[in-house]
Chains A and B, each alone.
Chain A
Amino acid sequence: MKQIVIISGKGGTGKTVITGAFAALAENKVMADCDVDAADLHLLLKPDIKERNEFRSGKTAVIDAEKCVKCGKCVKLCRFNAIAENFVVDPVSCEGCAFCSFACPAGAIRMEENISGEWFISETRFGPMVHARLGIAEENSGKLVSLVRQQAKELAEKNNSDWVIVDGAPGIGCPVIASISGVDCAIVVTEPTLSGLHDADRVIKAAKYFGVTVKLIVNKYDLNTDMTGKIEEYCKSGGIGLVGKIPFDESVVKAMVKGKTIIEHSENSPAGKEIAAAWNFMRKKLEEKI
């Protein structure tokens, strides 16, 4: 079983469109949406939720006003400025470190567990999918991503699947680290813009830092062929395989509006063909390694 993650440094480069297309193309697979902050893959795959689980993580301090002797120790010790002068905790600022609860001489502070999200196992027209939803303004997305990855992997092992296809998290911080660790290959989707190259470079460095093989796809490459050329050079000099150049194609937006993958909507559109070619190339490469 091989795990592939599609990442992008930044959102909006077409990462989910490509993940959706790969989901339609790959056989015998499990999908995982690790973009738990702003998941989109469900819009294309329309999962039918079979199993719903709470995600508990992190704690928030709560001060019992009756026990509190107003000594001010917690206010002074909290480095996240989460406790106001009136001894009320701001749950958004609280990092859950529990320092205050250990230090409170009156034993007035308890730590309450947060229900910070939900995760699901679903069935889609392409096979099973594991996905999640982080509660609004909750932290610990890295942990939720790890959980989704773990569940997807277990499911794939149980089903004897050949592939786990992961829609990765954006950025280079904790969620993306959790979405790329231990995968067989990370595919970075970028657009031919100055910022696109800049973001790709940062996420590629992060992936390399964690020892993951990286390949690159340029989306909407024809919007700036000069920049695409620069990205090609960047790949060559960095030894990064460029596995696809996808043209700007309005049928991608049309497919999205219909809630379909580009493969189902118009496999023979310029973008559809190119994505299919990229998948076949990737598939062979990864199968050779077995």
Chain B
Amino acid sequence: MIISVASGKGGTGKTTVAVNLALSINDNVQFLDCDAEEPNAHIFLKPEIKKTAKVFIPVPKIDEAKCAYCGRCREVCVYNAIAVIPPSAGRKGKTLFFPNLCHGCGSCSYFCPEGAIKEVNREIGEIETGYAGSIEFAHGRLNIGEAMAPPVIREIKKHIKTECTVIIDAPPGTSCPVVETLKRSDYCVLVTEPTPFGLNDLMLAVEVLRKLKIPFGVVINRADLGDEKTDLYCDKENIPILMRIPFKKEIAMAYSKGEPIVMAFPEYKKEFIKLYEDIAGQVQ
């Protein structure tokens, strides 16, 4: 079973819920942190990293000796990652490549009539895998200055072992990285706060899940700060509220030190087990 934990936005306690859920389920758990822009779960799970692998995307390398400056590669690149300056009045031609714009689709190398383009790997991030106790752990990290997280996410998701209970910490937002992460999940836990900001973000996340047709429920964090509008919304939309976590200074303190709730306050463990059982019941 693949359970993703998401939220319209960061900072709602998504990682807290994902980590504590993983720590509360007894065996055969795999944890994937797909927030490749800001992976945080390792701060709480403190995994021992066994392997590091670079993530590459294939990008063109143009052999100027073979290039006839025909401009075909520029024509087929819809991302404007290639510019071709044809030779003129004694000036040599030039082909320019802008790596940050390239999606690695392979179109240019395929269509170059002169066979002047071959593909080379460009590193955009890395994946680390290891163990946090008995939990199998993987996360990825996008290199600073890189724009495209989805290839890193796809790479993390290749580690999925369907025989395990897989907990995925999703990136925030509602665009490409989140969609890439949530695809193929059996269930999604949406973490929110009962404030107007939280509700606004929750409603956006709900739209994403409905579009992807993934069943979901809500965990309300800092449940006692804010108003009752989130409850009313869930009620009206028939969205199950799976759990409420109160605002407690001790929880915030433990969090700030990188301590999972169930480690600092073991009494919460049974609530997370119940959360897991609820989800398992709904997926069945």
Contacts and interface: CB of A to CB of B under 8 A. Distances in A.
A194 interface: yes
Given A11-B10, A16-B197, A37-B174, A227 B256 contact: yes
B200 A173 contact: no
Interface in B156-193: 171-179, 183, 193
A250 B15 CA distance: 23
Contacts of A193: 255-258
Interface in B90-145: 103-107, 110-111, 142, 144-145
Given A97-B107, A139-B176, A11 B9 contact: yes
Given A11-B9, A259-B196, A40 B226 contact: no
A198 B40 contact: yes
A279 B199 CA distance: 28
A201 to B, nearest CB: 10
B220 interface: no
Most central of B38, B211, B249, B257 by chain A CB within 10 Å? B38
Contacts of B8: 38
B109 to A, nearest CB: 10
Given A170-B10, A256-B196, A92 B179 contact: yes
B211 A137 contact: yes
B43 A79 contact: no
B235 interface: no
Interface stretch (A98-106, A152-160, A233-241): A98-106
A23 interface: no
B21 interface: no
Q: On chain A, which size bracket covers the interface?
A: 35 or more
Contacts of A205: 144
B212 A137 contact: yes
Interface stretch (B48-56, B59-67, B201-209, B265-273): B201-209
A194 B258 contact: yes
B110 A141 contact: no
Interface in A110-158: 134, 136-139, 141-142
Nearest to A81: B154
B265 to A, nearest CB: 17
Interface in A6-35: 9-13, 16
Contacts of B204: 37-38, 136
B79 interface: yes
Contacts of A80: 105
A96 interface: yes
B195 to A, nearest CB: 5
Nearest to B252: A223
Contact of A40 (B110, B146, B200): B200
A173 B148 contact: yes
A174 interface: yes
Given A40-B201, A98-B78, A102-B76, A10 B172 contact: yes
A92 B183 contact: yes
A171 B258 contact: no
A224 B257 contact: yes
A172 interface: yes
Given A38-B8, A98-B107, A99-B106, A253 B176 contact: no
Contacts of B225: 250, 253
A43 interface: yes
A290 interface: no
B179 A137 contact: yes
B258 A195 contact: yes
Contacts of B147: 142, 173-174, 177
Given A137-B175, A171-B37, A103 B110 contact: yes
18 contacts: A10-B38, A11-B172, A43-B196, A43-B197, A98-B76, A99-B105, A136-B174, A137-B208, A138-B176, A139-B175, A170-B172, A193-B255, A195-B43, A209-B144, A223-B252, A250-B225, A253-B226, A257-B227
Closest 8 CB pairs of A and B: A12-B11, A11-B10, A97-B105, A174-B147, A11-B9, A10-B10, A37-B173, A224-B256
